[in-house]
């Protein structure tokens, strides 16, 4: 009869030591994985990075009670809230909220509201962007403040050439 070719091989081959080392390494990794996982899950760094990010807050600063309220007022606040809801209420994993403010068509009032909204120590989250701003004087004041604070202002409806650029 024929002899089994596997039987002719010596019991120890040069790769045997390598296989033992591989098995030892796999065993070590298998014992260390639960420890590494626990360190990652329970470390302060992970808890800080897994915390819910602060919300993005949009301020709609418009004429809620004056002569432009029919054009811009409560309707623009509702439109902003609908847009946020249509977008799913969050962006890049951050919840989006909308605040409303009345500037009474006075730049000084608008600046006071915006100062409060942009304040990082504000109760809640500081406003990231202000929109509305149908009054040109209000829009110019807010645009300057937003630029100084590194915030976004989107003017809707104001038409001063100081905002739009001279032709």
Span of 36-50, 73-87, 120-134 with lowest mean pLDDT = 36-50
Residue 120, pLDDT score: 83
Residue 122, pLDDT score: 73
Would you state the torsion angle of the CA atoms of residues 123, 128, 131, 133, taken in this order, to the nearest 10 degrees?
A: 70
What's the rounded mean pLDDT across residues 146-167? 84
pLDDT tens figures, 118-132:
988 777 778 999 998
**pTM for the whole thing?**
0.67
Higher pLDDT, 10 or 107: 107
DSSP H helical ranges for 43-130: 44-50, 73-86, 107-118
> Other C-beta atoms within 10 Å of 91: how many?
11
Residue 21, pLDDT score: 61
């Amino acid at each position: 009869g024929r002899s089994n070719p596997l039987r002719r091989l010596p019991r120890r081959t040069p790769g045997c030591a390598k296989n033992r080392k591989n098995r030892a390494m796999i065993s070590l990794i298998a014992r260390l994985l639960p420890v590494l996982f626990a360190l990652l899950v329970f470390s302060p760094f992970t808890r800080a990075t897994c915390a819910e990010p602060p919300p993005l807050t949009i301020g709609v600063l418009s004429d809620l009670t004056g002569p432009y309220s029919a054009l811009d007022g409560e309707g623009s606040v509702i439109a902003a809230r609908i847009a946020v809801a249509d977008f799913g209420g969050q962006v890049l994993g951050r919840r989006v909220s909308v605040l409303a403010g009345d500037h009474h068509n006075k730049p000084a009032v608008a600046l006071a509201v915006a100062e409060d909204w942009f304040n990082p120590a504000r109760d809640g989250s500081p406003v990231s962007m202000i929109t509305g701003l149908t009054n040109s004087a209000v829009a110019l004041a807010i645009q300057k403040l937003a630029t100084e604070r590194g915030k976004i202002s989107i003017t809707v409806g104001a038409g001063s050439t100081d905002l739009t650029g001279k032709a």
